[in-house]
């Protein structure tokens, strides 16, 4: 319990620290003027698109389940609802895994193969992280002003994720490592580990569904990047400045990768990185305003999740 409390305190502290760094650099009166001058129809359109993107996001998870579970066992609309509930927990509660726990709880209730169904949540998370970090690595390598150490770190992340992918895809590869450490693992844990690996291996071995999910994930990220550009246009609508769309395909994946650092759903880190990457081209207040519009889209989706959870049988 004490260990968990320390983790939550660390996440809260990280978010507060980065928000402090942001507000130190911002002129609040200029920020107010920027938000007031935002072109509302375009901003509303971008928020609507952000909400609609929740459907392909849920579809990615649905594809994993469809490859393992009979069609009559799982309904897409229910998966979308659970995804929205998960966003509520992940975005506004200190426990970053709270959303995943909630999704697993509602997904496996009344089902026999709880381990297989529950592990789909982690697989979906993994594919999401893999696509985001892959885009972040490519963006980082193409950006000249990114420090070399950061580029090495991004490469390490992608190789680490590829190792996990190969580990769970090929039993022979996993057995090579497992046999080295098997004698050090307590007997009561061996069966649990082997069952967990088998569940993960079933998802990674279903190549067709994995490929479909990866395609949906990359497409989803690309549309989301374009939507960020739309948000920026709504801010710059009445201003003389402009911003390159290619810049968003470079910086937004890096921002998403940065938000994987433990925090309150990326709060603070997200706003800081928006300012760090876009201040030179848009100005500090405009860059922060962009992060605020994105945050509003997150809040809207979380509110939808809150409404959905009110109508779930078990709260």
User: What pLDDT score does 292 carry?
Assistant: 92
Q: Does pTM top 0.85 for this prediction?
A: no
Distance CA 243, CA 303 (A): 31
Structure tokens at 163: 């190792």
pLDDT of residue 304: 92
Is 41 exposed, middle or buried (CB count within 10 Å of its CB: 0-12, 13-18, 19+)? exposed
pLDDT at residue 97 in the model: 56
155-176 mean pLDDT = 87
Output the average pLDDT for the chain. 83
Mean pLDDT, rounded, for 295-306: 90
Cβ proximity of 15 and 267 under 8 Å: yes
What's the CA gap between 276 and 263, in Å, rounded? 18
268 falls in which pLDDT band (50, 70, 90)? confident
103-107 long-range Cβ contacts below 8 angstroms, 24+ apart: 105/314, 106/82, 106/312, 106/314, 107/82
- DSSP assigned state of 264: S
The Cα-based distances of 168 to 111, 171, 206 in angstroms read 24, 7, 11
- Statement: residue 46 has pLDDT above 90: yes
Distances (CA, A) of 68 to 64, 102, 236, 243: 7, 21, 47, 44
Contact assessment for residue 258 and residue 269, using Cβ atoms and an 8 Å cutoff: yes
User: What is the mean pLDDT of the segment spanning 61-79?
Assistant: 80
The pLDDT assigned to 228 comes to 94
Compute the average pLDDT of residues 151-174: 85
Running DSSP on this structure, what letter comes out for residue 189? Answer: H
> CA-CA distance, 36 to 30, in Å (whole number)?
10
Q: What is the residue whose two structure tokens read 């998870």?
A: 61
pLDDT for 115:
82
pLDDT of residue 191: 83
94-130 as b/e: b if 16+ CB within 10 A? bebebbbebbbebbbeeeeeeebbbbbbbbbbbbbbb
Q: What pLDDT, on the 0 to 100 scale, is given for residue 227?
A: 94
């Amino acid at each position: 319990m004490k260990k968990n409390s320390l983790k939550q305190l660390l996440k809260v502290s990280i978010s507060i620290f980065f928000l402090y760094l942001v507000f130190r650099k911002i002129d609040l009166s200029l920020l107010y003027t920027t938000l007031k001058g935002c072109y509302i129809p375009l901003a509303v359109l971008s928020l609507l698109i952000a909400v609609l993107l929740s459907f392909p996001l849920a579809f990615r998870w649905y594809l994993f389940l469809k490859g393992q579970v009979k069609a009559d066992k799982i309904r897409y609309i229910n998966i979308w609802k659970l995804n929205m509930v998960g966003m509520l927990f992940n975005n506004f509660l200190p426990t970053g895994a709270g959303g995943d726990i909630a999704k697993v709880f509602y997904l496996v209730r009344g089902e026999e193969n709880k381990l297989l169904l529950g592990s789909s949540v982690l697989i979906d998370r993994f594919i999401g992280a893999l696509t985001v970090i892959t885009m972040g690595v490519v963006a980082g390598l193409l950006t000249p002003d990114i420090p070399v150490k950061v580029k090495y770190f991004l490469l390490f992340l992608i190789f680490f994720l590829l190792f996990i992918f190969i580990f769970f895809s090929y039993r022979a590869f996993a057995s090579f490592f497992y046999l080295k450490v098997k004698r050090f693992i307590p007997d009561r844990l061996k069966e649990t580990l082997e069952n967990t690996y088998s569940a993960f291996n079933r998802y990674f071995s279903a190549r067709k569904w994995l490929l479909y999910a990866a395609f949906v994930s990359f497409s989803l990220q690309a549309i989301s990047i374009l939507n960020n550009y739309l948000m920026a246009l709504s801010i710059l609508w009445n201003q003389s400045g402009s911003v390159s769309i290619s810049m968003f395909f470079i910086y937004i994946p890096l921002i998403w990768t940065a938000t994987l650092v433990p925090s309150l759903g990326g709060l603070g880190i997200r706003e800081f990185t928006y300012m760090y990457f876009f201040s030179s081209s848009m100005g500090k207040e405009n860059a922060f305003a962009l992060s605020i519009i994105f945050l509003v889209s997150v809040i809207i989706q979380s509110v939808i999740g809150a409404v959905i959870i009110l109508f779930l049988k078990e709260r």
